[in-house]
């Protein structure tokens, strides 16, 4: 039986990439982990590429790939310096990943996404919002930037106003889809919490 | 290649039903159409059942089933009078369907869902909200109830305040997940519109 992915918003992105009809080639930024969602696109006949900053997360993805008998082409890399040519990728996404950087670094990464996307290509990005119960937790290190404990490590999280990403970052893109989500439910550890996210699908002009 | 479903929120429900671990048996209310999402659950080893009020929609689903070589057990039926025994189903959902009735009829349908669900069973329901651009379109026939033109027919749509469904309907249930979504994007006909939805996952107490 096929695995069930937690990154359900990427099924929406898949509807948009299939509908767009460019070459079936996709890049995931922050692609590692034990359920790499590139497998959703691999299963639909896409040529997949991924980068991840963490050796451990890449190792977890490799174990998944081995078990499933697939290859997703995930390599080590930094999303502020993408190891790809200009206009090389019709589709790029970063799910639950890009906001683990400062707002300045996120801007650099989105400039890189713009550089590497083909004209007319699509990108999916999501950001946690000020509606999130954790939006001001932890040690404040900048406006909307907090160091938060995650699995025993201090990890940077950037939080955004609902209209802030388009104000800061989306020059040269058209926003073709935006969803502001406020979710109340249980975390994996059983505690109940309100999460706030905003998802975008962008088209490179 | 497997079909890509538009009803992406049901992947979230699948995570909850798989996590709950009751008997893999699921009922869809409003199950017909050209991409019946019961196939998502069939693919994951669930025994599936569906009802639909429309012969045409059932016929479309049958064509899909034939093409895919699967059987989803979709029959004609009215969700205010479910043709199932008490406590017969561990999982029930109604996606983009239940709000095509009056608020009174929706209440009757949710009472039926409660009756047919097993204790501890889960239900997924979604409702359009007052955030929706269409929330006051058409001919008003009751509070938050509008007759709207759809494919040349007048169809009833009920719209809800963000906290209204739990106030009206969820006695005997616990809300274990709720997502309030405001989506700005393109419709299938290419026009741009804001849609508002609230999704619930309920557990029968």
Q: Give the whole-angstrom CA distance, residue A24 versus residue A22.
A: 6
CB-CB neighbors (< 8 A) of A2 in chain B? 43-44
Are A4 and B44 within 8 A, CB to CB?
yes
CB-CB neighbors (< 8 A) of B4 in chain A? 11, 14-15, 18, 44
State the nearest Cα–Cα gap between A149 and chain B, in angstroms.
Answer: 25
Answer whether residue A137 is part of any domain.
no
- The closest CB to that of A178, out of B1, B177, B185, belongs to B185
What is the 8-class DSSP label of residue A154? E
Query: What is the pLDDT at residue A150?
Result: 85
User: For position A75, which CATH number holds?
Assistant: 3.40.50.150
Q: Give the whole-angstrom CA distance, residue B75 versus residue B52.
A: 7
pLDDT in tens, A150-184: 888 899 999 999 999 999 999 999 999 999 999 99
pLDDT in tens, A81-139: 999 999 999 999 999 999 999 999 999 999 999 999 999 999 999 999 999 999 999 99
Answer whether residue B180 is part of any domain.
yes
**Are A39 and A70 within 8 A, CB to CB?**
yes
Are A186 and B176 within 8 A, CB to CB?
yes
Answer whether residue A155 is part of any domain.
no
Answer whether residue B137 is part of any domain.
no
Q: Give the whole-angstrom CA distance, residue A43 versus residue B172.
A: 41
Please give the residue of chain A at the shortest CA–CA distance from B181: A181
Q: Give the whole-angstrom CA distance, residue A113 versus residue A122.
A: 10
| Residue scoring higher pLDDT (B153 or A38) | A38
Q: What is the mean pLDDT of each run of 10 residues along chain B (205 residues)?
A: 90 96 98 97 97 97 97 98 98 97 98 98 98 95 95 93 97 96 80 93 97
Residue ranges of E strands in B36-88: 47-52, 74-76
Q: Which of residues 93-152 of B touch A (CB under 8 A)?
A: none
A19 at B interface, C-beta within 8 A: no
Q: Give the whole-angstrom CA distance, residue B67 versus residue A194.
A: 42
Give all strands of the β-sheet with B153-158 in edge-to-edge order. B139-142, B145-150, B153-158
Query: What is the pLDDT at residue A187?
Result: 65
Query: What is the pLDDT at residue B187?
Result: 64
Long-range contacts of A4-8 (CB under 8 A, 24+ apart): A4/B11, A4/B14, A4/B15, A4/B18, A4/B44, A5/A35, A5/A37, A5/A39, A5/A40, A5/B11, A6/A35, A6/B15, A7/A35, A7/A37, A7/A40, A7/A95, A7/A96, A8/B8, A8/B9, A8/B11, A8/B12, A8/B15
Answer whether residue B27 is part of any domain.
yes
Answer whether residue B149 is part of any domain.
no
**Are B25 and B52 within 8 A, CB to CB?**
no
Please give the residue of chain A at the shortest CA–CA distance from B13: A8
Answer whether residue B148 is part of any domain.
no
Answer whether residue A146 is part of any domain.
no
Please give the residue of chain A at the shortest CA–CA distance from B175: A185
Specify the length of chain B in residues.
Answer: 205
Would you say residue A189 has pLDDT above 90?
Answer: no
ipTM: 0.92
Q: How many domains does chain A have?
A: 1
Query: What is the pLDDT at residue A75?
Result: 98
Are A44 and B14 within 8 A, CB to CB?
no
CB-CB neighbors (< 8 A) of B15 in chain A? 4, 6, 8
Please give the residue of chain B at the shortest CA–CA distance from A195: B179
Query: What is the pLDDT at residue A22?
Result: 98
| Best B1, B2, B4, B203 residue to mutate vs chain A (most A CBs within 10 Å) | B4
Q: Give the whole-angstrom CA distance, residue B202 versus residue B174.
A: 6
A15 at B interface, C-beta within 8 A: yes
Structural domain range at position A46: 9-130+161-204
């Amino acid at each position: 039986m096929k695995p069930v992915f937690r990154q359900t918003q990427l099924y929406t992105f898949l509807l948009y990439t299939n509908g767009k009809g460019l070459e079936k080639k996709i890049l995931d930024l922050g692609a590692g982990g034990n359920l790499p969602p590139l497998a959703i696109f691999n299963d639909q006949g896409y040529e997949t590429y991924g980068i991840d900053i963490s050796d451990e997360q890449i190792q977890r993805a490799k174990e998944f790939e081995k078990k499933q008998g697939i290859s997703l082409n995930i390599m080590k890399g930094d999303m502020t310096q993408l190891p790809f040519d200009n206009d090389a990728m019709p589709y790029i996404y970063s799910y639950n990943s890009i906001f683990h950087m400062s707002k300045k670094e996120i801007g650099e990464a989105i400039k890189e996404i713009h550089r590497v996307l083909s004209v007319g290509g699509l990108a999916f990005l999501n950001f946690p919002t000020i509606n999130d119960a954790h939006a001001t937790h932890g040690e404040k290190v900048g406006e909307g930037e907090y160091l938060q404990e995650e699995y025993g490590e201090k990890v940077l999280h950037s939080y955004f106003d609902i209209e802030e990403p388009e104000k800061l970052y989306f020059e040269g893109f058209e926003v073709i889809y935006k969803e502001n989500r406020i979710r109340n439910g249980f975390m994996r550890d059983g505690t109940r919490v309100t999460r706030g996210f905003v998802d975008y699908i962008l088209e490179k002009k």
